[in-house]
């Protein structure tokens, strides 16, 4: 996220789903409380993917916790653009 603009690029507008993980971008916003330690949490209670070996669906409850410093990761969910 180095060199990222001060304003989020995806917040408040439709965003295309990236073609690959290497093309994905995360927006960040300033931490309003950088002097306090607290946990930021992302959850995906219905995470589904295909097993690369069996091609069968795998299901999970995904939880990501982190303690932000200067920045918070923006949590907007990407939406596919209409073609």
Q: Is residue 58 among the annotated active site residues?
A: yes
Q: Is residue 51 among the annotated active site residues?
A: yes
Residue 46's SS3 state is strand
Q: Which of 6, 37, 51, 65 is catalytic?
A: 51
Catalytically annotated residues: 51, 58
């Amino acid at each position: 996220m180095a060199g990222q603009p001060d304003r989020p690029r995806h917040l408040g507008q439709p965003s295309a789903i990236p073609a690959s993980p290497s093309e994905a971008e995360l927006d960040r916003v300033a931490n309003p409380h950088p002097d306090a330690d607290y946990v930021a949490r992302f959850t995906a209670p219905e995470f589904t993917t295909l097993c690369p070996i069996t091609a069968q669906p795998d299901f999970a409850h995904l939880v990501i916790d982190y303690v932000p410093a200067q920045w918070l990761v923006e949590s907007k969910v990407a939406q596919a653009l209409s073609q």
